[in-house]
């Protein structure tokens, strides 16, 4: 091991984040040719978690062209963000009521199976994670299966983009066997990546038993590059972002609650995240992994994204600059 690398979690990740920010800052302002790319994104106004979330998700999916025929007979995997278990800060993790609502939509449309799956990055005790994040009672009451992706069976899958030097990625069996993968993150700022939304949420699909806690291999390989490789290789089918109450400031863990009152959804994750960034008052072209997606994984420019549902009404999120 190189003894010059900080050995504390915060010190190690600060060094990795700084290298990512410095190495990719110039790339973030370059705009690729998106003339061949189009995507639809739906914004639903949902003021609180007591609102009819299921109806909003159902209406959004239908508006996007994803109705019962798209789901019937399929296995649907819902991937929330459960990065840090804490009852005292519910704005850290995807709210369980949003996941429950999505599960109910898919079940009512005839899904063969709906499973919730996550590989938390900071805690190996999955029972503690589910209890502290309030997912345990929801999963029990709805009879939903949960898979801990950190310890799921896995196979090595060829890296389909190769922005990192990782030639293959260890993908859990539950990810490989799902017919539909839905990324369901919390809308948050991130002290190195700028934002953490549906694309960054895929860090949680890789097993900690291979990549460590908090997925240190990916931080060493480059946060931005790893986000791009993961999205190109996993190819999720849909994103539903919980922006009812998000996080601003020192995200993804130590920030403060920010009410935005929205769900953002769509099939193209870069377009969904670019739209969410605009809702957060953040220029998506300044986010390295979004700029890096342009022209390859999906469109970022507003003129190539068909806005459905509510219009973009920015609710500026306070951010931190990578150190």
Q: Dump pLDDT digits (tens) for 41-69.
A: 999 999 999 999 999 999 999 999 999 99
Contact assessment for residue 199 and residue 284, using Cβ atoms and an 8 Å cutoff: no
Question: 84: helix, coil or strand?
Answer: coil
Give pLDDT, residue 36.
Answer: 84
Give pLDDT, residue 321.
Answer: 58
Give pLDDT, residue 4.
Answer: 30
Residues in contact with 181: Cβ distance below 8 Å, sequence separation at least 6, in sequence order:
77, 79, 175, 234, 235, 236, 237, 238
Q: What is the mean pLDDT of the chain?
A: 90
- Cα separation, 99 vs 109, in Å, equals 16
- 194-196/186-190 β-pairing: antiparallel
pLDDT at 90 > cutoff 80: yes
The strand pairing partners of 69, in sequence order, are: none
Q: How many helices (H) and strands (E) does the chain have?
A: 12, 12
User: What is the DSSP-derived secondary structure letter of residue 282?
Assistant: -
Give pLDDT, residue 30.
Answer: 61
CATH match of 40-309 with 3.40.50.11440 = yes
Question: 282-293 pLDDT, tens per residue?
Answer: 999 999 999 999
């Amino acid at each position: 091991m190189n003894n010059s690398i900080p050995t504390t979690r915060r010190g190690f990740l600060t060094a990795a984040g700084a290298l990512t920010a410095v190495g990719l800052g110039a790339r973030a302002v370059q705009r690729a040719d998106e003339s061949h790319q189009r995507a639809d994104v739906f914004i639903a106004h949902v003021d609180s978690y007591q609102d009819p979330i299921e109806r909003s998700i159902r209406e959004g999916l239908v508006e996007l062209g994803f109705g019962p025929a798209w789901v019937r007979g399929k296995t649907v995997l819902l991937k929330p963000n459960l990065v840090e278990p804490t009852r005292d800060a519910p704005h850290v993790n995807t709210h369980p009521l949003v996941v429950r609502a999505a599960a109910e939509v898919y079940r009512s449309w005839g899904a063969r199976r709906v499973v919730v799956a996550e590989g938390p990055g900071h805690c190996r005790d999955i029972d503690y994670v589910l209890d502290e994040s309030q997912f345990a009672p929801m999963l029990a009451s709805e009879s939903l299966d949960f898979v801990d992706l950190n310890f799921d069976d896995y196979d090595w899958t060829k890296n389909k983009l190769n922005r990192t030097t990782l030639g293959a990625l260890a993908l859990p069996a539950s990810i490989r066997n799902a017919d539909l993968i839905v990324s369901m993150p919390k809308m948050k700022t991130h002290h190195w990546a700028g934002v953490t939304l549906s694309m960054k949420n895929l860090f949680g699909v890789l097993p900690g038993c291979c990549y460590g806690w908090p997925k240190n291999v990916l931080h060493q390989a480059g946060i931005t590059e790893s986000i791009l490789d993961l999205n190109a290789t996993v190819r999720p089918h849909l994103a539903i972002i919980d922006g009812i109450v998000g996080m601003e400031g020192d995200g993804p863990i130590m920030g403060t609650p920010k009410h935005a009152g929205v769900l953002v959804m769509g099939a193209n994750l870069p377009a969904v995240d670019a739209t969410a960034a605009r809702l957060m008052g953040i220029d998506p072209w300044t986010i390295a992994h979004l700029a890096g997606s342009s022209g390859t994984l999906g469109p970022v420019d507003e003129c190539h994204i068909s806005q459905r549902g509510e219009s973009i009404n920015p609710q500026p999120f306070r951010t931190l600059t990578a150190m």
